Homo-oligomer: A and B are copies of this chain.
Amino acid sequence: MPAMTPDDLRKFVETEFPQAADSGFLIEHLDDTSIRARLPIRHQHLRPGGTVAGPTLMWMTDFSFYMLLLGRLGPVAHAVTTNLNINFMRKPEPADVLAEGRLMKLGRSLAVGDVTLWSDGKKDPVAHATVTYSIPP
């Protein structure tokens, strides 16, 4: 059972990451090793041509995995990303971004997982990333 529920995390984000809370970031599912989150797409995320900006996808990747990790561990303030490797595979639609994250390893000092990103309503992913976090002692 996760240490924090989606509702706990929502309150944590409102306090600690108000910009993320303002983005509309929403956890739709959370368990011990997986998360599903949604980012409502808004004007400031769009690039010319109507696609979602790469940095928005990278932020969504990192933040979704961070939420999965906090959900599991509780509010450890100082977990930090040490590695993020992302493959951009398809041009995103101007639609909500869905992220599915998976925790593959939770060690004493490192957590490793991956995150797949979709445009809402599409079957094929727009991006896939692996993420490593360092967990303080």
Contacts and interface: CB of A to CB of B under 8 A. Distances in A.
A33 to B, nearest CB: 11
Contacts of A91: 80
Interface of A: 16, 19, 44, 48, 54-55, 58-59, 62, 80-91, 104-105, 107, 109-110, 112, 114, 116, 124-125, 128, 130, 132, 134
Nearest to A84: B86
Contacts of A87: 82-83, 104-105, 112, 130, 132
Given A55-B59, A55-B62, A112-B87, A82 B132 contact: yes
Nearest to A86: B84
Given A83-B83, A110-B82, A112-B128, A48 B16 contact: yes
11 contacts: A55-B62, A80-B88, A81-B88, A82-B88, A84-B85, A85-B86, A89-B105, A89-B112, A90-B105, A114-B128, A130-B130
Given A55-B62, A84-B88, A85-B130, 10 more contacts: A58-B59, A80-B88, A81-B88, A82-B87, A82-B89, A83-B88, A83-B132, A85-B85, A104-B116, A114-B114
Nearest to A63: B55
Nearest to A126: B105
